[in-house]
Amino acid sequence: AQSVTQPDIHITVSEGASLELRCNYSYGATPYLFWYVQSPGQGLQLLLKYFSGDTLVQGIKGFEAEFKRSQSSFNLRKPSVHWSDAAEYFCAVGAAIQGAQKLVFGQGTRLTINP
């Protein structure tokens, strides 16, 4: 069965600093990987996804992630964070079920931005 680990429960960075959120997955086949962001009291917004091809994936809001099969990782990065990036970030791995994608989420990383 697939699983996702986000080692960092809470990260604090200063505005304008670079960011890297870690994600490690376990899955027997080629994984479908996702990063979502959730603001307090809100639903999920997809930042980016990896299905195949180029292992460096560009997403919205200036985020990118790199799939490293050898390390079973899919870390999320942003070169310069903005105060509006403060939120909860979830990494997820997908498995195809009857043509649909079932997601297993990591525990989440809460990002706090210092002014």
Contact between 29 and another protein per CB under 8 A: no
What residues numbered 49-78 form the site for another protein, per CB under 8 A? 51
Contact between 97 and another protein per CB under 8 A: yes
Q: With H, G, I as helix, E, B as strand and everything else as coil, classify residue 38.
A: strand
Of the residues 39, 55, 107, 114, which one makes contact with another protein according to CB under 8 A: 107
Of the residues 53, 54, 70, 99, which one makes contact with another protein according to CB under 8 A: 99
- Measured CA to CA in angstroms, residue 9 lies from 21, 69, 88, 107, 110 at distances of 10, 23, 9, 7, 6
7 Rama class: left (phi>0) / alpha (psi -120 to 50) / beta: alpha
Which tokens hold the place of 44?
Answer: 């999920």
Residue whose tokens read 């699983």: 3
Nearest distance from C-beta of residue 100 to another protein, angstroms: 4
Of the residues 43, 52, 70, 115, which one makes contact with another protein according to CB under 8 A: 43
Query: Which residue ranges make up the site for another protein (CB under 8 A)?
Result: 34, 41-44, 46, 51, 90, 94, 96-108
